[in-house]
């Protein structure tokens, strides 16, 4: 059976006495957790949350600002001062 690099990395850390890894690397290679469905579900939920935050920023801040700038310029061009 071929070992993946992640498995070798996890075995090396476990042999060195490492029990927990934090951050993105820890989410990917955590010595104490198995690769169960719940682990993948947590990662999927985190990705969906990031996508929803991105959409909220886009449609809540960026899109209205673009619309205001566009319509403000259209109104300014059609009604010159004078």
Q: Are residues 18 and 45 in the same domain?
A: no
Q: Which domain holds residue 78?
A: 37-82
Q: Are residues 54 and 67 in the same domain?
A: yes
Q: Are residues 81 and 45 in the same domain?
A: yes
How far is Cα 62 from Cα 65, in angstroms, rounded to an integer? 5
Q: Check whether 55 has a pLDDT greater than 60.
A: yes
More confident residue, 80 or 52: 52
Q: Are residues 23 and 59 in the same domain?
A: no
Q: Are residues 26 and 49 in the same domain?
A: no
How far is Cα 80 from Cα 68, in angstroms, rounded to an integer? 18
Q: Check whether 46 has a pLDDT greater than 80.
A: yes
pLDDT at 53: 92
Average pLDDT for 22-48: 67
Q: Check whether 5 has a pLDDT greater than 80.
A: no
Q: Are residues 42 and 63 in the same domain?
A: yes
């Amino acid at each position: 059976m071929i070992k993946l690099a992640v498995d070798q990395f996890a075995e090396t850390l476990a042999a060195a006495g490492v029990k927990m890894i934090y951050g993105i690397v820890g989410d990917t290679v955590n010595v104490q957790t198995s690769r169960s469905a719940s682990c993948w579900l947590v990662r999927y939920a985190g990705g969906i949350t990031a996508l929803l935050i991105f959409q909220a920023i886009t449609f809540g801040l960026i899109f209205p600002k673009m619309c205001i700038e566009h319509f403000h310029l259209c109104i300014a061009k059609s009604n010159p001062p004078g």
